[in-house]
Amino acid sequence: MRWSSLFIVMGMLAGCPGGPAPVPTGDPNDRDGDGTPTAQDCNDGDADIHPGADDTVGDGVDNNCDGVDGVDADEDGFASEASGGDDCNDDDDGINPDGVDFGWNEVDEDCNGSDRHDWSRLGTGHFVTCGQKSTGEFLCWGADTNGEVSNAPTGGEISSISGADGYLCAIVDGAVVCWGDDTNGMVSGAPTGTNFAAVSAGDQTACAITNLGAAHCWGNDEFGQITQIPVAELNDIDVGDTHVCAVFDIGGPYNSTCWGDVGDPQNPQLTDKGPPPQGPFRQLAAGENHTCGILTDGTLKCWGQNTFGQASPVNRKGPYTDLAAKSDYNCGIVAARIQCWGRNVAGRNEAPDFTAINVETGFNHACALNGQGLMFCWGDNTAGQGDVP
């Protein structure tokens, strides 16, 4: 074979797929002969490394000169999923594993597999559930017999949500806003002003406390739920069916009280609800004919009617961090897990096993938030009150 023919064959092989790598040309502007000028080639000594080259994650080599091992078309520092990386959208530099998921926009900005649907507030009525999204939007779902869903506020700064039979209330931008059934003036009787911190709705009476701890109650006063309000600074308030309980802003073992239909205070062991036992308490939860409370050391005490074990929690030692009561059952958060006790109707005592920070009880359903803002509901769902959006 002539030398000229040999050179022609070698040249043809060099340009064919699967042939030998290009022979360095000696061209100072493209030393590895890959067709990319030296100024644009991140490794001009290797013809397999240049912009546009195939780059698959895992070999530790930036073959396509985009700064990462793999393809990074949007230059956000993360290789695309198509090239073996973790960037779920390589056309948008705001979407990657370090992205901020704003939530509720059907976009998975942080590439964790789903759009963030997190909640900052939670409240329950008898057959309805309400919550505030991280975006500020306020939603209710479930029974709408009295406008509990359709008449709910749509936004604002929500600091408290509570519901009972046919109506709900919330603190919206410091004001008490109630909607739904107005029997006993539960809606129209709400106090005015924008200095309120918390609200609690009972079946016949509702109460709210101001930023300074003053209590205001409205609705049915058959048992003195309104006229017997203590003149004191309160930290916490909860309304049951016909009685109200509150925690004073003071220390000491007797820092709580209950009023309304509490039975005979001279014989508390024979009464349905009775006065609170010795504390000091941090939070109280009033049911229909019983009350439970978390002490400042995280332990739990319950008193009142115990027909269904609603005043006999399995775990009294805790530590409890949140508590809710309705009718003849309770749910509390102990060691970051939910425990429910009392009368078990429609599975309302059968809480799922997850880390929780807030729990609320409806008539036959309950809901809770976890530390990531996810909401879980269990129990009765006949009105869709457990179908979290």
Cβ atoms of 302 and 272 within 8 Å: the answer is no
List the one residue out of 240, 235, 322 whose CA is nearest residue 274: 240
Amino acid at 265: P
Name the residue ranges covered by the structural domains of the chain: 122-379
Contacts of 247 (CB under 8 A, 6+ apart): 234, 235, 236, 237, 255, 256, 281, 282, 283, 284, 293
pLDDT for the residue 56: 79
DSSP state of 252: S
Q: Is the dihedral of CA 62, 66, 68, 70 positive or negative?
A: negative
Cβ atoms of 264 and 271 within 8 Å: the answer is yes
pLDDT for the residue 300: 97
List the one residue out of 328, 353, 326, 325 whose CA is nearest residue 338: 353
The encoded tokens of residue 280 equal 């000091």
pLDDT for the residue 25: 55
Cβ atoms of 384 and 140 within 8 Å: the answer is no
Distances in Å between the Cα of 208 and the Cα atoms of 144, 216, 254, 327 are 24, 5, 22, 20
* Peptide bond preceding 275 in cis form (omega within 30 of 0): no
pLDDT for the residue 267: 45
Helix%, strand%, coil% for the chain, nearest 5: 5, 30, 60
Per-residue pLDDT of the chain (389 residues; tens, 9 = 90+): 443 443 333 343 344 344 444 545 567 788 878 788 988 888 878 888 888 888 878 788 888 888 888 889 999 999 999 999 999 999 999 999 999 888 888 899 999 987 878 999 999 999 999 999 988 999 999 999 999 999 999 989 999 999 999 999 999 999 999 999 999 999 999 999 999 999 999 999 999 999 999 999 999 999 999 999 999 999 999 999 999 999 999 878 889 999 999 865 444 444 556 678 999 999 999 999 999 999 999 999 999 999 999 999 989 999 999 999 999 999 999 999 999 999 999 999 999 999 999 999 999 999 999 988 999 999 999 999 999 99
Cβ atoms of 219 and 185 within 8 Å: the answer is yes
The three-point CA angle 126-129-133 to 5° equals 160
Length of the chain: 389
pLDDT for the residue 269: 45
The H or E element spanning position 6 is: helix 3-14
Cβ atoms of 293 and 279 within 8 Å: the answer is yes
pLDDT for the residue 13: 37
**CA distance linking residue 122 with residue 338, whole number of Å:** 15
Q: 122-379, what's its fold?
A: Methylamine Dehydrogenase; Chain H (2.130.10)
